[in-house]
Amino acid sequence: MKLALLKGNRFNPWHLQGFSMLPDSVEVTAFRAESEIQHYFAERDDAEPKFRVKRIYFDTQAGNPVRRAANAISQRFTGRAPRVLPFFECLEGFDLIQSWEMFTDWTAQALEARARWGIPLAVMVWDNIPFNMERNPERRALKARTAEEADCFIVYTERSRRMLRLEGVPKAKIRRINPGVDIERFSPGPAERAALGLDDDELVILFVGWLLPRKGIDYLLLALRELLNDPELSGKRVRLLVVGSGPGRERVEGLIERLALGKICTFAGSLPYSRMPGAYRAADVFVLPSIATPEWQEQFGMSLIEAMASGVPVISTLSGAIPEIAGYAAVLCQPNDFISLYEALKTMLLHPDRREQLGAAGRKRAASEYDLRTHVEQLTQVYKELTQG
């Protein structure tokens, strides 16, 4: 089976790990466009995928030089998003195409290949907001076409499944599977804090993710200030470890300065994926304080299952798919609420027995629900259904 994998902005080690474990009978070719966001990950030095990667281009990167320059200027000064140059002809001869989201240029190219050569198309959907991304008429039309023509929709959450049903996708086309994490790699173990510049006697709060406002780090910083102001915690050495990158660093550092938190915040940047297990093991508590925006709410929270698999107690918010992912294995606060976040953190930091209990619950849930091997088996079965009838 020759699989054309179109991952778009999800071309990273987390999203690709399962595809490297597919049976030898599945020959994967991933189509990748280097987006402007990639420079934020220059320090990660991740290993190359174990399958073929074919380069495609945005209209700011290839083609007519004059048009390319005009597109780049438009992107910089008007906010115009770069568009993927047509590449559907490269998809001829594949047995199956997997694309991402209903409204992307990648899916538009996949639909064209399906129309020309009858190649089955599976669309991986993370979005969970009904009728989202439809202010642009072109995208709205593309979503409608995708709903009608794609052969299968793969979702990771019940929320995404319900969204597709509301948008008119037939029930028979939707396959829900759980994503996975390597539960042997991400597992409880000794904390090697020195490599991250952390002391053994510190209570370490870990944040992993983009520094965008929607990830809620601003509220975490406000909660951290409340912790430092609390007399019951005056004898504790508290530290925030931030693992992540992307736009927003200046905003975050400005808030840290205003709250006088600079001495207890450590920025590790975007660590290579191989170092992430060590980052989780170094933490006493993991926090994902996501908030919702009109066009986005937490679609899964990949770091949630990594933290749970590592046996780290999790605090998060009642936002998007987080409640169904974390289940009984996390303390969930109201989003946009630094007070409830502070109270949850205070309880966790003052009670090591509670941390131990919640960490064990997370490990149990990750092992039973989010084992990467099970994910690969389920994905392989979907592929067989689509190619063998």
Same domain for 197 and 134: no
pLDDT beyond 80 at 21: yes
Same domain for 364 and 375: no
pLDDT confidence of residue 77: 65
pLDDT beyond 70 at 327: yes
Same domain for 118 and 41: yes
Same domain for 255 and 170: no
Q: Where are the beta strands (DSSP E) in the chain?
A: 2-6, 27-33, 52-56, 96-100, 121-125, 152-155, 174-176, 203-208, 238-243, 265-269, 285-288, 314-317, 331-333
What is the DSSP annotation of 45-105? -PPPPSSEEEEE-BTTTSS-HHHHHHHHHHHHHH-PPP-BPP-GGGGTT-SEEEEE-TTSH
Least confident of 47-61, 158-172, 275-289: 47-61
Same domain for 197 and 163: no
Which CATH number belongs to the domain containing residue 352 in this structure?
Answer: 3.40.50.2000
pLDDT beyond 80 at 42: no
Instruction: Show the tokens assigned to 303.
Output: 């770091």
Q: Answer yes or no: is 188 within a domain.
A: no
Q: What average pLDDT does range 72-80 have in this prediction?
A: 65
Q: Answer yes or no: is 185 within a domain.
A: no
Same domain for 342 and 206: yes
pLDDT beyond 70 at 80: no
pLDDT beyond 90 at 10: no
Q: What is the pLDDT of residues 305-324, one digit of tens each?
A: 999 999 999 999 999 999 99
Q: What is the pLDDT of residues 210-242, one digit of tens each?
A: 899 999 999 999 999 999 999 999 989 999 999
Same domain for 128 and 27: yes
Same domain for 87 and 174: yes
Whole-model pTM: value is: 0.90
Q: What average pLDDT does range 63-75 have in this prediction?
A: 69
Same domain for 85 and 223: no
Domains: count for the chain: 2
Same domain for 88 and 27: yes
Domain extent, residue 352, equals: 193-369
- Per the model's pLDDT, the better-predicted residue between 77 and 189 turns out to be 189
Same domain for 222 and 147: no
- CA torsion sign for 69, 71, 72, 77 is positive
Percentage of the chain modeled with pLDDT above 90: 76
Q: What is the pLDDT of residues 129-164, one digit of tens each?
A: 999 989 889 999 999 999 999 999 999 999 999 999
- Per the model's pLDDT, the better-predicted residue between 237 and 65 turns out to be 237
pLDDT beyond 80 at 378: yes
Least confident of 17-31, 73-87, 188-202, 236-250: 73-87
Same domain for 259 and 227: yes
